[in-house]
Structure 1
Amino acid sequence: MRVDAVLGVAVLLGSGVTAGVLFAVALSVLPALFAMPTATYVYAHKLLGRNWDPTMPAVVLSTTASATALAFVTDEPAPRALFAAAAVLLLGVSAVSHLANVPINRRVKAVTDPASLPPEWTDPRPLWRRWHLLRTGLALAALAANAVAVAGV
């Protein structure tokens, strides 16, 4: 089996999982979190985030590495450019997650008593949603770039 074929499957799986997870959160989880009273939201946020942290960074970064490798091993200029663009878009997903969403997650996880929030505490949901929608758009664009590139290889 050719290396580019194996990497092509990897970028499609990884970018599909990334875009799918982020899209599902935007479509269903976020509206549910916004409908909750603040104390319930804090409790739910803590439960929802437990298993994403070790998994999603590994998926995003391994997919970025696969797209980067394909940008170097692919001979055709158009797929090469698309794989490179997808890698940059996935790096954007990682950067937004690490620099914006994760610090907000840490702040929410630090709340010890959701029923008794400190007076200076501000609801992070609107800001978290904006950052999340940005990374979702980046992930969807990366999936599209990878799909077109794989189809053109």
Structure 2
Amino acid sequence: MRVDAVLGVAVLLGSGVTAGVLFAVALSVLPALFAMETGTYVQAHKLLGRNWDPTMPVVVLTSTGLAVALALVADDGAARGLFAAAAVLLLGVSAVSHLCNVPINRRVKAVADPRALPADWEDPRPLWRRWHLLRTALAVVALLLNAVAVTAL
């Protein structure tokens, strides 16, 4: 089996998991979080992030690296460009996550008692959703680009 074919399957798996997880959060988790009272939301947010925070950065960055590798080794020029663009988009997913969503996550996790929120507490859900929808869109487009590029291998 050719190296680019193996990398192609891996990049589709990684970018598919990334897009799928982010899409599922946008479709189901976010509406559920918005339906909760603020204190319940804070508790749920703490629980939800427990396993996703260490896992998703590895998936996203590995997928980015695979797309970069394919951009370097693909024989087809169009495929190289598509893989490079997908890598940039996946890097964008990572940047939005680390620079926008993670700081919000840290603020929510820092709440000691969700039943006694500070007087200056601002509900982060609307801002978190905007950033999340941006990274979801980036991930879905990256998956699409990777899928088209893999067909050219």
TM-score, with length taken from structure 2: 0.99
Q: Distance in 1 between matches of 2:115 and 2:54?
A: 28
Q: Distance in 2 between matches of 1:140 and 1:63?
A: 13
Counting only pairs closer than 5 Å after superposition, residues 1-153 of structure 1 correspond to structure 2 as: 1-153=1-153
Q: Distance in 2 between matches of 1:54 and 1:38?
A: 25
AA of the residue aligned to 1:142: A
TM-score, with length taken from structure 1: 0.99
Q: Distance in 1 between matches of 2:37 and 2:54?
A: 28
Q: Give the match's secondary structure for 1:60.
A: helix
Residue 92 of structure 1: how far off its partner (Å): 0.1
Q: Distance in 2 between matches of 1:48 and 1:98?
A: 17
Q: Distance in 1 between matches of 2:128 and 2:61?
A: 21
Q: Distance in 2 between matches of 1:37 and 1:137?
A: 28
Residue 38 of structure 1: how far off its partner (Å): 0.1
Q: Distance in 2 between matches of 1:52 and 1:122?
A: 24
Aligned length in residues = 153
AA of the residue aligned to 1:145: L
Q: Give the match's secondary structure for 1:114.
A: coil
Q: Which whole-Å deviations, capped at 9, do the CAs of 1:32-79 have from their partners, x for residues lacking one?
A: 000000000000000000001111000000000000000000111111
Q: Distance in 2 between matches of 1:7 and 1:67?
A: 8
AA of the residue aligned to 2:69: A
Residue 117 of structure 1: how far off its partner (Å): 0.2
AA of the residue aligned to 1:108: V
Residue 2 of structure 1: how far off its partner (Å): 1.1
AA of the residue aligned to 1:111: V
Gaps spanning 5+ residues in structure 1: where?
none
Q: Distance in 1 between matches of 2:14 and 2:31?
A: 25
AA of the residue aligned to 1:36: M
Gaps spanning 5+ residues in structure 2: where?
none
CA RMSD after TM alignment: 0.4
